[in-house]
């Protein structure tokens, strides 16, 4: 694998921010688009990188493991079917999605900070948020990053997101592209060809 792949560029940018070689306006967020079928393999490669000796400490956080620990997720799962008996089932799905969307990002950041408090307080730390696709359609990377910024997480945060960059905007799973200005991004998308 040459050093010019989007995955290598992502790792290099994370290290540059964590070591102070690059600076951002606020705590640095670095995003790289990933072809959705390559998301799991990309996470495995980043985990292996974190396990190696890196110039800075790297803490992977698997978002699909954090989500079930939140109160809002447990509440939605625990609602009895009779709670929705006046509807045809569509109301249940809409209510669950609204509840998760409204509260999930804040509760997930609470869980991440609680589990990795030391890492979140250190500017020379890299925090990798992996398996973002598992949160679709309930939470977006921008919601997680905004909440981390609000909670003053100081670590350099890296997110491989399933989607692409279209005209300088992030498109999550092919949805309408949106700007997310506070994030530094790698423009090229990681595909399975980069992971061979």
Confidence of residue 1 (pLDDT cuts 50, 70, 90): very low
pLDDT per residue as tens digits for the range 35-63: 999 999 999 999 999 999 889 999 999 99
The pair of structure tokens assigned to 87 is 């509807």
- Comparing CA positions, the residue from 121, 107, 196, 114 lying closest to residue 153 is 121
Question: What is the predicted pLDDT for the residue at 145?
Answer: 87
pLDDT per residue as tens digits for the range 150-186: 999 999 999 999 988 777 777 666 666 555 667 888 9
Q: Are strands 183-185 and 58-62 parallel, antiparallel or unpaired?
A: unpaired
Residues 156 and 14: beta-carbon distance below 8 Å: yes
Between residues 132 and 102, the one the model is more confident about: 132
Does 19 sit behind a cis peptide bond, omega within 30 degrees of 0 on the bond before it? no
Between residues 12 and 83, the one the model is more confident about: 12
- Comparing CA positions, the residue from 95, 90, 55 lying closest to residue 75 is 95
Distance CA 76, CA 168 (A): 36
- Comparing CA positions, the residue from 61, 67, 58 lying closest to residue 106 is 67
């Amino acid at each position: 694998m040459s050093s010019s792949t989007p995955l290598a560029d992502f790792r290099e940018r994370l290290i540059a921010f964590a070591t102070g070689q690059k600076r951002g306006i606020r705590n640095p967020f670095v995003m790289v688009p990933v072809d959705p079928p390559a998301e799991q393999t990309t996470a495995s490669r980043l985990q292996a990188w974190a396990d190696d000796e890196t110039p800075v400490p790297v803490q992977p956080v698997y978002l699909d493991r954090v989500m079930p620990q939140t109160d809002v997720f447990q509440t939605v799962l625990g609602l009895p079917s009779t709670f929705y008996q006046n509807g045809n089932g569509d109301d249940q799905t809409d209510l669950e999605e609204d509840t998760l969307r409204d509260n999930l990002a804040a509760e997930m950041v609470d869980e991440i900070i609680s589990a990795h408090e030391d890492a979140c307080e250190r500017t020379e730390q890299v925090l990798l948020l992996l398996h973002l696709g598992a949160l679709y359609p309930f939470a977006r990377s921008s919601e997680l990053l905004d909440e981390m910024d609000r909670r003053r997480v100081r670590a350099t945060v890296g997110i491989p997101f399933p989607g692409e960059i279209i005209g300088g905007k992030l498109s999550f799973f092919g949805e309408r592209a949106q700007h997310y200005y506070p994030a530094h991004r790698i423009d090229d998308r990681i595909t399975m060809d980069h992971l061979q």
